[in-house]
């Protein structure tokens, strides 16, 4: 199971009710395939930064869902068949937090220093905990 995000643009020559029906159909596909809809964003009609085809506006919809890889495939297949969908984009969301290694190391060292206590501050600055152990042995 993975978190996916699919955004798509519905052409503006569709009425709002029709667009809603279409969105509902797509949402049903997600639930049919044992997916869990986490969030459904409807931005409504919005001006695009550039024209796609002959349209200057589009309905923006974003799905956030949790499920297997067959859901985005099926959605993509449907989108390609429909003329009313101008664009779509599916992303796999990163579940693990992408923290930089360097920063992580610095944070860890700082935490260690604070845990070791203030009295041995100069010693902690001089070397890593490992050589100190050797000295003790």
Partner 1 sequence: MAREERSERGSYKKFFPPKKKFCRFCQRNVKFIDHKNVDILKKYIPDRGKISPRRITGTCAFHQRKLAEAIKRARLLALLPFVED
Question: What is the binding site for partner 1 (CB under 8 A)?
Answer: 7, 9, 41, 48-50, 52, 58, 60, 62, 87, 89, 91, 94, 97-100
The answer to whether the beta carbons of residues 3 and 62 sit under 8 Å apart is no
Up-side HSE of residue 51: CA atoms within 13 Å toward CB? 4
In whole angstroms, how close is the CB of 112 to partner 1 at the nearest point? Answer: 21
User: Closer CB to partner 1, residue 15 or residue 98?
Assistant: 98
In whole angstroms, how close is the CB of 74 to partner 1 at the nearest point? Answer: 20
Tokens of 54: 């002959």
User: Closer CB to partner 1, residue 9 or residue 26?
Assistant: 9
- Distance, in Å, from the CA atom of 91 to the CA atom of 57, rounded to the nearest integer, reads 23
* DSSP E strands, 1-137: 2-10, 36-52, 55-67, 85-92
In whole angstroms, how close is the CB of 29 to partner 1 at the nearest point? Answer: 20
User: Closer CB to partner 1, residue 23 or residue 52?
Assistant: 52
């Amino acid at each position: 199971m993975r978190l996916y995000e699919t955004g798509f643009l519905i052409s503006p020559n569709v009425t709002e009710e029709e667009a809603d029906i279409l969105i509902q159909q797509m949402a049903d596909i997600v639930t049919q395939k044992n997916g869990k809809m986490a969030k459904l964003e409807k931005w409504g009609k919005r001006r695009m930064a550039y024209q796609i085809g002959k349209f200057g506006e589009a309905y923006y919809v974003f799905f956030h869902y949790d499920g297997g890889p067959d859901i985005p495939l099926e959605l993509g297949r449907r989108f390609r068949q429909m003329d009313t969908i101008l664009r779509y984009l599916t992303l796999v969301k990163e579940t693990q937090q992408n923290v930089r290694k360097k920063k992580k190391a610095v944070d860890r060292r700082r935490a260690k220093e604070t845990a070791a206590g203030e009295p041995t501050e100069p010693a902690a600055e001089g070397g890593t905990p490992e050589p100190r152990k050797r000295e003790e042995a």
